[in-house]
Structure 1
Amino acid sequence: MKNSNYTVMKKISILLFAFVAALCFNACIEDEDPTFVLEQEQTEGPLIVSANSTIALTKENENLQGFTLVWEDAQYNVNTPISYTIQAAAAGTDFANPLEVAVTTDRFYSWTIGELNSLAILLELEPDNEASFELRVVSSLGTNGGASITSNPVALTVTPYSTIIVTRNLFLVGNTVDTNKDGVANNDDWNNGATNTYLFRDPDNSNIFYFRGFFEFNDGENEFKLLENKGAWQPQWGLDGGGFTSSDILGGDPGAFTIGSSGYYELIVNIDELTHELNAIDITGATEYTTIGFIGSARTGDDTGWGGDDTDLIQSPFNPHIWYAENVTLFDGALKFRHSNDWPGNWGGSTPLTGQATTEGNPPDTPVIAGTYDIWFNDLDGRYIFVPRN
């Protein structure tokens, strides 16, 4: 009987050891950031076999295939899928601030002419000037960049053409703002598909937005939010516990911004750092203009656009310092904003699509990329934004 009990206990011990070993093995393979031990040191990363190239970029051929990046497989001594991250950077920067283009498990990646052009613009290569940018591939194991190795770079020489890069925009909705432009703010202005007033995006940081304007407090109606896409409630931006956030981050709708009384406010938000400022401002002494319009070659595609009367903007009936025009087709060229159809008072900015115009001295001509836009202008601070129409 003693030997029988010993045998049973021995079997139980073996089973317990096997169970604990299995748990340890599972815990290791389910770790979110696994550490792989290679049998021998890997000293060479993926090898790009595509050659340095000069590629003609033309808008007429934007849908044609432009370039395919091909590389040889990185060799790791473990049996696990390899992930490849494609990075891009302006030539000569040594990838100090690389732009992540794509992640793939394939050993090739293709761009159309239009996609290459957009990539060049995002890397801040100037339109109509020949320049180069570089591509490289970073291989890694697992989902968290384990055992990453960088490939050799390949250079592409291009001459970008002017194009519109689709960028996130924010507009106002709520019962403190006039979205339907009937001159009053109330609950009818919780309307995501009206003539909603846009915030003005920073020309140097696409994550920062500004707005100076009037907000109305009516019998407890003191709320507003920010939306991105006309006709859609998501994503929406607002507050949670006093902090700036979005529905994408929360997984549900954020709370609204609120004001304590009617008046002019300055709103600044950063959708990357999740910061916001909303402060009352004093605009005593600000001029209320009767007319503001724009003039320039962007109206016609040639210098005749600088002649004749301005193309008038519409003055908001709710906020006399906000001006807009919808569904305006413009040509490659330039324009200036001005009041009273005359030159003594004109605004010009140095950046396309969005910026802050000045009246100082002889203002610059505001550059325009051909397209159809909704145009918004704020005469309190000279900010402007051209919102591309789909």
Structure 2
Amino acid sequence: MKNIKLLSFLFIAFISFNACDQDDDLVFTASEAQDFVFNTTFLNNYILSSGVNSNLAERFTWNHANFNVPTQITYNLQAATMSDFSDYVGNPEADDFNTYNLGTTSSNELAVTVGQMLKLANLIEGIDNDPNTTDIPNNSQLYFRLRATIGTDASLESFSAIQTLNIELQETTDGGGGAFEVASWGVVGSGYNNWGAFADGKFYTTATPGVIVSYVNLLDGEIKFRENNAWDNSLGDANNDGILDTDADNNIAVTAGDYKITIDTNDNAYTIEPFSWGVVGSGFNDWGATPDAKFYYDYTTDTFKAGVQLLDGEIKFRMNNAWDVSFGDANADGILDTDADNNIASTAGHYLITINLNDNSYTIEESNVYGVVGSGYNDWGGAGPDASLTEIQPGVWFAENITLLDGEIKFRQNNTWDVSYGDATGDNLLDTDADNNIASEAGNYVISIDFNDAEGIKYSIGKR
């Protein structure tokens, strides 16, 4: 314990009866900070890709340090690649000072980007993101701690416990060029977003130059493709010949369902084919009594992910909510197969399931799952589980084809009220204020939450 005499105040009392003066010293004693810990719900694993450097990797939050003195506290979030912080650089004059010092604040939170974590990860020896170096791992750990100081006296400091985070470098899947990217083209129309009522369905680059792909849920209606969510450049198919054109009356008729849309921008050829992967089984939907839990595409890892609440039972993964193509894991080796008796045992809980169709690997990791709850969906949880959103990229949660009712909704974590968000001010930024239910109107929706936005936790509820 450090006992420090910080403040001394002289109070002078004038006593008229005896006309004497009395001096009192009031002394505050500072002690090392109590209850000074991170309170973030950290992920099991952080996948780092240079293609999303500016995205939020994690928002670190903590309990305020209590030094037992009434003065402002300054916090510095520090990082290292060694568990004992022996590599930490604390000299502000050093070239790499900012690599290890991630921010200073007097509040109780700081955002750390993917780029900041990558800069640290690149200093770790013995890991890389090359899929061809099978003898060199692409995963390791980073270490974080908080330094709290009292007022302007930097010598009066306390440190939090060190927090270890597992990190994984995204292996290059496009021939060495890094992560795939969001393309400039999108899906627009009555068959997706009511002709631009909200953002167009995204296309992504692929390993083939000029070929882009979108995985999207469509409604009965018409679509076409346009660049940058604007009408300056748009394409349809007036001749219904599989070649995109700019002719008049070139809308493309579509039927409700999940699809993979591929466009070859080299010759404007395109295809639209039914495509979805889902979780099915006694561990989720009684082997198909309700729709399978949908996997969403993550372009930063070229994988498909599903945020889902599982039950005790068994699951497997199948294509297009049918049994024509399905995978399990007969050998319990983390590689999907079509063998007999290949059901995968499931345990009740909330999970992020990832499947990689490039090598048929998969993972099932315990994870927080955000969902939609309310009178506008499931009678505030009394009429079934919340509508799950999937973290399709770090900090970005997404779901399509969500049917809402007239009423109110909010978002909560893991089907409980421990963590929940609404929007008390109607500014499309989530908050934890009182009376923050969000009005809902009956219809079909695309819903997203973005924890990366600089303004706050931004959300979108797009009626189709």
Task: Report the TM-score when normalising by structure 2.
Answer: 0.30
Q: State which structure, 1 or 2, has the greater radius of gyration over its C-alpha atoms.
A: 1
Richer in strand (by share): 2
Q: TM-score, normalised by structure 1?
A: 0.35
More helix by share: 1
> Which structure has the higher relative contact order (CA within 8 Å, separation 6+)?
1
